[in-house]
Structure 1
Amino acid sequence: MEKTVEPQVVLLGSHLTKQFYGNIVLEDLSISCKRGTVLALVGENGAGKSTLMNIISGGIQPDSGSITFMGNSVTFKNSQSAKKMGIAFVHQELSLLPDLSVGENMMLGQEPVRYGFIHHRKLHEQAESVLKEIQYDVDVYRMVKELTPAEKQMVEIAKAWIDRPSLLILDEPTSSLSKIETDHLFKMIRTLKSEGTSIILITHRMDEIFRICDEVVVLKDGRMTKTEKIENLTRDDLIQAMVGREIIHTFPPRKGMSIQLDSLLKLKSIGDEGRLNEIDLEVPRGRIIGVGGLEGQGQRQLARGLFGLHFFTHGELILEGKRISLKCPVDAMKKGIAFISDDRKSEGLILPLSVLENMSLLNFDAISRYGIISRKTERREINQGITRLAVKTASPQLPVQFLSGGNQQKVIFAKWLAMHPRLLILHEPTRGVDVQSKLEIYRLLRELADGGVGILVFTSDMLELIGISDRIYVMYEGRIMGQLDGEEATEEKIMTLSSGKLLTDIQKGGDVLAARINS
């Protein structure tokens, strides 16, 4: 009997078109993915990436076009039918159930049964076997709600791998991962690739594209603008294909810190019961202050504590010269403090509500009179916000869940800016956001700072940290290891502080080495 040869092209999508509410999201788009390759899918938010992947994985149906998978013409009724055929999609917004264990989440829907009841010991053994296969170590009995975002991401990938899919789609898988965790994920991807699994990687991180991917497809406004082997491209080629023009200045010019500035916020010896220790930090009016360091060094607790979402046990918070106490977010808002969380789906938006309703949430006083909302005033205010933030939406009435990640982030900005904050705290403001939206956010932050707003940005993106910050504080194990003015900051200096070493220690080491050489 003649041996069957697997097709070289695992996936072929031809002339795919999709509309939502009259808005064309994909237009006559074709894509192919070869066996045992990593294909990068990139483009601005709103370019159609998630819609395309949802069509390929059976989540939604195209208006026209066809899909060929493993050499067969297929029509997926839903994501389960695509999964049975061998396509798994790990979404950026994770779907784990917080009150179940790691093992229970991984085996959900395919639990082993004994005497009519779920065999929990065998279930967790099977889950542990899968984790060992992908070389990821986490307790399968641990509750998902106790996991870090990075651990949840890896569990979600392990869950997708249980069925050994022929095509694995990963949507921004490293957005919540540290460098070490990203290295581990890429090692796993290379293993899967060597075994013949095809992988489509949606990412906005340029270094990842050139590090792990074989080919790239660029989308813009629902159309393909470039498809090419990675070896034939440069970073500038990709950016130009995504935004449609050459990017000369990614970051607006920084402001100097040499002149005397009015202090907006001061932290003196801030700490909590476990994560933060003796934090001293200052945010001047009209400046962008960055906080960097490896993930999990206390940045999350500090950012949330400054909005009343985490309790500081000691130290002083001084806002415009007056000592303040923040017991809850309402306290912070009354004092002119705004906070944009790193979790926009859960903490930034009410997804079923419209763009208009989400943007109006904090602006009730401005759009109402005697407790009654003026729809005319509301529409005027919202249209101004949409224009200012360049929000791409078919209508202000469109549910915000149908917007791209970048446009959802802009809606969150517009919502908070309607409050006219004095201090804006941002935690990973461009996570999962496309290149063009990042540029617009950077320009907006500088515009706000020029208008006198104090801005505190917590980001794990090194280039972003250096590019937008007038001053940078670096955290390590709940402490501030040092600070750098924006003009003097380099990746090497930041990584030195991030590893728990003082810059003076490095200099001393260099001096000792020089002395030995000279002697």
Structure 2
Amino acid sequence: MSLAVRFDGIEKQFGPVRVLHGVSFDLAPGRIYGLLGENGAGKSTLMKILAGYERPNAGDVSIDGVRTDFTSSRDAEREGIVLIHQELNLADHLSITQNMFLGHEVRKGFFLDEAAMRDDARAALADVGLHKNPDTKVRELIVAEKQLVEIAKAMLRRARLLIMDEPTATLTPSETQRLFALMARLKDAGTTIVYISHKLDEVERVTDEVIVMRDGRFVARAPTPDLTRRQMANLMVGREVSDMFPPKPALIDDARVAFEVEGASVPGWADGVSFSVREGEVLGFAGLVGAGRTELFEALVGLRALSAGRVSIAGETATLKSPRDAMRHGITYLSEDRKGRGLHVDMALKDNLTMMTLERYAHPLIDKRAERGALSVALKDFGIRTGNPSSRARMLSGGNQQKLALAKFLHPDPRVIVLDEPTRGVDVGAKRDIYFLIHRLAAEGRAVIVISSELIELIGLCHRVAVMRAGELVATLGMDLLTEERLIAHATGTH
């Protein structure tokens, strides 16, 4: 069952951009390792090499002392190495069972043994706490449920080494606890786990040892109990990290209401929600996964049906039937799904940036020079790190993709900005940059709404936090009442 890994001088480059520089370290069997680093540090690329998705340009990977050269993820899986991707890797039109066994179908003679696969899928889903019919189409699941399907799918591979890339990004606290219990059982059975996460409290809690990468290089390793969270953060960014949250901009007493919602209802998701946000204010939305926050705002900006309610913008009633309507009224919404609804990852950076404002650059042909100039400004203003400004969005790290998505949705110069999980999967340095950007937007007099599952983030950023539970807005707390305990109590109904 045990499996030991050794990286020796691993180098990797994509075109002219080198992302790994002679990385060497080893992993002992039956331990949980926290693999830390900023977005772009090379963590995911190194793990994709281990799992057979990428091949190194130089260096060796050894398994149990034997040099290996995986040509595909199937090769790695045969050795018991399984990667749970940060970005969901599911076929929406297939069922849960079909996704879990895709490429690994169980046969009975010439035919697929669908009953056996369904039973195995149901058992694996129960292990991760997802009680769904295995015949359910994946497109009918919310993001958190899809993440649990990915984890359950990995369990079916009976991994000897399991790589988890941001596995709790979409999970509720109870789902996260169940995952941690599952990890402990796997460790006791001898499985090695590599846990990639920017949630340092989780790394501190569940890992035995921390390995830190920076700028494509191995920089440190230490037993987890020997490091504080602040020390972990400092090692990741290579400098002292302090003041994660900027001072909150002072609210102007007579600031006008920028966005007001009365009695908004979304079938199956929200019922009679009313709130307002003023110019210069950061309003947070808290709640458990499934509370209806995302679905409410998707309806408010025209992405799904709003069955009842009234929307006012700067005091005037508005009908928003599409995101284009919302943009014309000065509202933009950045989805929590940056790859599915935020960016076109196979398009160039400049094309992503200007997509929502093409009329500025069409005279009538697209002014490519002006687009390149806009991109140059955005790269600087948003701190987007890229080795090649002409590359596709797919080539950016997760944190830099998120910054590009922010730049894209702010390019129309909106007055009301809705950010859904703006720092999900983003490292500590990029988080700080995004926090300061949010406060800069508020200081300019814009109204900012932040939907987040990270309570510390909401407390540090927001002037007020609205809490939703089971589709209803149950409380709105001012700065003097913002504590994790109060937010959790209202979100769970135990207040």
**TM-score range normalised by the length of the shorter chain:** over 0.9
Q: CA–CA distance in 2 between the matches of 1:250 and 1:135?
A: 34
Paired residue for 1:17? 11
- Letter of the 2:483 partner, please give it: T
Range 411-420 or range 139-148, more displaced: 139-148
The equivalent of 2:69 in structure 1 is: 75
* Residues 254 and 486 in structure 1, CA contact (< 8 A), matched pair in contact too: no
Residues 370-394 of structure 1: CA distance to partner in whole angstroms, max 9, x if unpaired?
x112222111111001111111111
Q: Residue in 2 aligned with 1:160?
A: 154
8 Å Cα contact 1:21/1:394 also seen in 2: no
Does 2:480 correspond to 1:498? no
Separation in structure 1 between the aligned mates of residue 357 and residue 493 of structure 2, nearest angstrom: 43
Of the three residues 394, 399, 419, the one matched with 2:412 is 419
Does the CA-based 8 Å contact 1:257-1:471 persist in structure 2? no
Q: Is 2:50 the partner of 1:56?
A: yes
Alpha-carbon separation, structure 1, partners of 2:164 and 2:9: 23
Whether the aligned pair in 1 keeps the contact of 2:22 and 2:217 (CA below 8 Å) is: yes
Residue in structure 2 matching 1:336, options 315, 330, 353: 330
Q: Whole-Å Cα distance in 1 between the matches of residues 123 and 259 of structure 2?
A: 50
Residues in 1 aligned to 2:328 and 2:421: alpha-carbon distance in whole angstroms: 24
Picking from 254, 261, 283, the partner of 1:267 is 261
Displacement after TM superposition at 1:488 (Å): 3.2
Deviation readout 1:461-499 (Å, 9 max, x if unpaired)? 011010110111111111111111224311111112112
d(CA) in 2 for partners of 1:138, 1:49: 32
Aligned to 2:342: 348
Q: Give, in angstroms, the shift of residue 132 of structure 1.
A: 5.0
Q: Deviations over 1:81-127 (max 9, x none)?
A: 11111110110112222222222211222223345232322221232
1:44 aligns with 2:3: no
Q: Would you say how many aligned residue pairs link Structure 1 and Structure 2?
A: 495
Identity %: 36
**Partner of residue 517, structure 1:** none
1:82-93 correspondence runs (5 A):
82-93=76-87
Among 454, 474, 477, the alignment partner of 1:461 is: 454
Aligned to 1:121: 115
Counterpart of 1:422, as a letter, is R
Partner SS, residue 277 of structure 1: strand
Deviations 1:66-90 (A, max 9, x none): 1111221111112111111111011
Q: Output the amino acid matched with 2:375.
A: I
Q: Which moved more, 1:474-483 or 1:250-259?
A: 250-259
Q: Amino acid of the residue matched to residue 121 of structure 1? A: A
The code of the aligned residue for 1:490 comes to T
Match of 1:452 among 419, 439, 445: 445
Structure 1 SS opposite 2:430: helix
Give the corresponding residue for 1:389.
Answer: 382
Aligned amino acid, residue 292 of structure 1: A
**By how many angstroms is 1:31 displaced?**
2.4
Quick check: which has more Rg, 1 or 2?
Answer: 1
Q: 1:219 aligns with which of 201, 204, 213?
A: 213
* Alignment partners' CA distance in 2, 1:400 and 1:144: 26
1:403 aligns with 2:393: no
Counterpart of 2:59 in structure 1 is 65
Whether the 8 Å contact between 1:256 and 1:470 is mirrored in structure 2 is no
Q: Which amino acid aligns with 2:437?
A: L
Structure 1 range deviating more: 396-405 or 104-113: 104-113
Question: After superposition, where does 1:477-496 map in structure 2 within 5 Å?
Answer: 477-496=470-489
Shift of 1:310: 2.2
Q: 1:110 to 1:414 in 2, by over 3 A?
A: same
Matches of 1:129 and 1:458, distance apart in 2:
33
Whole-Å separation in 1 of the counterparts to 2:441 and 2:121: 49
C-alpha RMSD of matched pairs (Å): 1.6
- TM-score, normalised to structure 2, is 0.97
- 1:267-305 CA-to-partner distances (Å, cap 9, x unmatched) read 112223332122121110111111112221110111212
- SS of residue matched to 2:270: coil
Q: Distance in 2 between matches of 1:492 and 1:459?
A: 16
- Displacement of 1:138 after TM fit? 3.1
TM-superposed deviation, 1:256? 3.9
1:250 corresponding residue in structure 2: 244
Q: Tell me which residue corresponds to 1:325.
A: 319
Q: Could you tell me which amino acid in structure 1 is paired with residue 27 of structure 2?
A: C
Aligned mates of 1:239, 1:119 — CA distance in 2 = 49
Deviates more, 1:106-115 or 1:292-301: 106-115
Give the structure 1 partner of residue 89 of structure 2.
95
User: Are 1:111 and 1:118, in contact at CA under 8 Å, matched by a contact in 2?
Assistant: yes
Tell me what 1:428 maps to. Answer: 421
TM norm structure 1 = 0.92
SS of residue paired to 2:83: strand
Task: Give the equivalent residue in structure 1 for 2:226.
Answer: 232
Q: CA deviation at 1:12?
A: 0.8
Q: Is the 2:266–2:296 contact (alpha carbons within 8 Å) kept by the matching residues of 1?
A: no
* Structure 2: tracts of 5 or more residues without a match: none
Q: Aligned partners of 1:308, 1:298: CA distance in 2, in Å?
A: 15
**Residue 516 of structure 1 corresponds to which residue in structure 2?**
none
